[in-house]
A = this chain, B = another copy of it.
Amino acid sequence: MDYTFSNKISSLQPSAIREILKTTADPSIIPLAAGNPAPDAFPIDEVREISANILKNRPIDALQYGVTEGYQPLINTITEWMKNKENIGRSFDSTLVVSGATQVMDLTTKVLCNEGDTVICEEPSFIGSLNCFRSYGCKLKGVPVEADGMDVNALEDALKNTENIKFIYTIPNFQNPSGATMSYEKRKKLYELAKRYNVVILEDNPYGYLRVDGEDNPTIKSMDEDGLVIYAGSFSKILSPGLRVAYCIAPQQIIAKMTVGKQAADVHTPCLNQMIVDEWFKNYDVDAHIAKIQKIYKKKIDLMCDCINTQLGDFVEYVKPQGGLFIWCKLPDNVDMLEYVQKAVEKKVAVVPGNAFLMNDTDTTQYVRLNFSTPSDEGIVEGIRLLGETAKEYK
């Protein structure tokens, strides 16, 4: 049989990152292309203890159907935590538990966008989210990311000159892939512009607690007096990505529609997984665990930057990020970036070619994305050494 696929799926390619990850399932390739939390950042003993208790004391709750909104104790835990920690959540807001933060992007697009509508994104931006918006037939309008976040003048131009903009997508902290963090001034300006042009902001904050240097900025959602902001939070980077538990805090009118959409998409997030997260908050010191992870990542980012400075200092340009998982490196202008990445894979080190993060991934860029959380310390040293060796071929 000849299959005819929908227009929206036909336009979509498999995520380049995940395809690269697959080719690097080969354990001899050093994985600087991934975005996995460091294995020693998982609270393994805690999860083991919590799971045993849940399946001993409340097995039916863990195994039976749940409601789409989420496990109510976890909703309460998240709501209170976000209120105390981030001043997020006003009387008009509500909380939805989702199956990983990507589902927030999915449901936001489902409830706000018709095919052909436009989503404004930072350029470059996280390919998973871009593909999600594309999967609904949305057009992507890129706004450049500067060292202190989105170019707000370019944003205003885009808001003025583009039709049917439904939301602005931003990763304000340690942006993927650029590593940039948006300044407080730009956050205020972004909010003001969204309000003036009557456009929703989708604030995606997976890396916010992976700060290793500098001071936190308030979330955009904490400024949300007007019900403009959909906030996506995740436990993937502070607890476990494999459990697939994340959350959305947004005006309850929007959450109500997202709940209907989630009901039709996957009914609910697994109960056992939600209960594990909730019991983690109730029985362990989450802030202490976050502090522990920050230490792990500080060590790794410092190590990688030292190695880059030594091995690649005269080859790449980069700004050391204050946290997150990624370093965004610019190759010299005379280097064919895709060729360099290919040569690096042949030397058994994988990085992500930067064009994967562009609105149109056939555009060219000199950037590659390096990740320091997945490889071991030895892997970082050896990986950067191999990238340096690859660079020598261009001298």
Contact = CB atoms under 8 A, between A and B. Distances in A.
Contacts of A268: 244
A37 B64 contact: yes
Contacts of A35: 65
A198 interface: yes
Given A264-B102, A272-B273, A48 B56 contact: yes
Find the residue from A198, A253, A257 having the highest chain B CB count within 10 A. Answer: A257
Interface string A248-281: 0001011001011101111111111100000000
A64 B52 contact: no
A260 B13 contact: yes
A291 interface: no
A228 interface: yes
Nearest to A194: B1
A44 B63 contact: yes
A114 B243 contact: no
- Copies of the chain in the assembly: 2
Contacts of A260: 9, 12-15, 131, 135
Contacts of A226: 1
Interface string A51-87: 1100110011111111110000000000000000000
B6 A111 contact: yes
Given A6-B113, A9-B260, A253-B3, A135 B63 contact: no
Interface size bucket, A side?
A: 35 or more
B270 A244 contact: yes
A267 B128 contact: yes
Given A3-B254, A257-B5, A241 B64 contact: yes
A376 interface: no
Contact of A36 (B65, B68, B242): B65
Contacts of A267: 100, 102, 128, 244
Interface string A318-339: 0000000000000000000000
Q: Give me the 3 closest cross-chain CB pairs, A-B, nearest first.
A: A242-B271, A63-B240, A48-B55
Interface of A: 1-9, 12-15, 18, 21-22, 34-37, 39, 42, 44, 47-48, 51-52, 55-56, 59-68, 99-100, 102-103, 106, 110-115, 128, 131-132, 134-135, 166, 195, 198, 200, 226-228, 236, 240-244, 251, 253-254, 257, 259-261, 263-273
